[in-house]
Amino acid sequence: MACLIAAPCSGSGKTLLSLALSALLRRSRGSVQVFKVGPDYLDPQLLGRVSGRPCRNLDRLLCGQEWLQRAFHWWGSQADHCLVEGVMGLFDGRGASAEGSSAEVASLLGLPVVLVVEASRQAGSLAALVRGFRDHQPGLELAGVVLNGVSTERHRALLSEALASIAMPLLGALPRHPDLSLPSRHLGLLPPDELQDFQARSEEWAALAERHLDLERLLPLLAPPPPLKVAEGSARDPIRWCLERSAQTPADLECNERGGELPIAIASDAAFHFRYPEATELLTALGVTALPWQPLADQPLPQGCRGVILPGGYPELHAAELAASHRSQCDLRRAAAAGLPIYAECGGLLLLGQMLEDPLGEAHAMAGLLPFSARRGSLQLGYRQATPLGDGLVTRRGEVLAGHEFHRWELSDTAMDGSERLWQLEGWGWAPRLEGWTTPTIHASWLHLHWAGCPEICRRLRNAVAQATPFPEAALTAGDAALAVPPLSAGA
């Protein structure tokens, strides 16, 4: 069966090894399905581009154990090869525990672990490090080690001898080379659309695997899993299973069969691209048609759309262009005034505020639908438990949801202006706090949700879209002057 590629810590080379194997397999040995542990958006974009298939996140804390099993076996069994890239260090999970860690996922799925070690400054100490990871959790199988940052043949021989002393297989040794580095910024690796000569890079990754990995030992660890055996009457497709699990009435089940009836605009450009593939698949299964919308290109909202989704991304890096996109911002305000449902997460939230500072500290006017301004602040990172304070667009009082927060921005409130706080967030090492905004037609929060873990969110959004009036196509006229600028000044 497939293996899980892990490491002692972030920055060791997990993604490089996963990209190299995926590129090689796709080039010469058929299809490959890649998975990523945890709530990452950027690594999956790279892995999906190289493999030619959507990379699927495996996150028990966000989606639950049964989804984990169903997703892995369903999509993994449809390819010729399969691999899972871990997250952070092998045993790093929520807080100081291994909850949600790569080790937990490997145990739940019965996967052997390939440990990637950045060994550029090590020799004999490698044996102690690997022995510790091998023995830390009884029952977890360490299939072998791939070394990264090996400078010379002599260095490789030293490291190989160290691993042989503890009977640990050496599965490959990647060289130190600046061309193999993966560029990054404050939230992670650069997405594939921002990497120059991506195809050439893919060929280099494939050649790297061919030259420096022990493929005779590694390829048997990339076999696909078998299809999952499920109870009679239960859906095999995890998307269908998700929606059946969240259905409350026969009418809910009926709407699963519809398609292409309810258009919704999804911001999709360099500023907004943090979303899981399952989000679109769940919407499609509910009869919602996703229409790409590019605010950065100052596109009007698609004619006839009945709602808007603003996913996360990097709006702060494009704040000036977004501020200059008058037609897009005006249409967003017109949609809000018309009562179309608007769902915004993290970077999408920033577009709804009064003002956004770019990394140089310059302020730019945003859509002005919510009463805050945003500027760079301290890192907010981790899993959160969210308890809604009341009934909102897609949330209900008394529910408890699991999400993930990851940003470096802080908000200064200006006024409530008819909106209310969405929910209380709690997380390991963080004091509980009120967060987000909600109105009958707006859901806006820092919190990223994986809808596979809370499909009722998707269903409620679909129902709100079904009740909305289609957005009309209209040019910006003098009569729209009140909507052409934010209701509060950019400096508020």
Beta bridge partners of 478: none
330 catalytic? Reply is no
Task: Choose, from 242, 346, 454, 458, the residue flagged as catalytic.
Answer: 346
Query: What is the C-alpha to C-alpha distance for residues 304 and 295, in angstroms, rounded to an integer?
Result: 17
Determine the angle formed by the axes of helices 153-164 and 125-135, rounding to 10 degrees.
40
Angstrom CA distances, 156 to 149, 392, 467, stand at 10, 59, 64
Structure tokens at 394: 């897609």
Q: Does residue 344 contact residue 411 with C-beta atoms inside 8 Å?
A: no
Sheet with strand 81-85: strands edge to edge: 56-58, 32-37, 81-85, 3-6, 113-118, 142-150, 170-175
DSSP structural state of residue 196: T
Query: What is the C-alpha to C-alpha distance for residues 371 and 393, in angstroms, rounded to an integer?
Result: 18
Angle, CA of 429, 313 and 366, to the nearest 5°: 105
SS3 407: strand
Can you say how many angstroms the Cα of residue 419 is from the centroid of all Cα atoms in its chain?
Answer: 28
Query: What is the C-alpha to C-alpha distance for residues 320 and 367, in angstroms, rounded to an integer?
Result: 13
Query: What is the C-alpha to C-alpha distance for residues 333 and 343, in angstroms, rounded to an integer?
Result: 14
Q: Among residues 111, 64, 114, 56, which one has the least CA distance to residue 224?
A: 111
Query: What is the C-alpha to C-alpha distance for residues 115 and 457, in angstroms, rounded to an integer?
Result: 37
For the chain, counts of helices (H) and of strands (E): 17, 22
Query: What is the C-alpha to C-alpha distance for residues 464 and 307, in angstroms, rounded to an integer?
Result: 8
Can you say how many angstroms the Cα of residue 157 is from the centroid of all Cα atoms in its chain?
Answer: 39
Q: Does residue 360 contact residue 430 with C-beta atoms inside 8 Å?
A: no
Catalytic residue numbers?
346
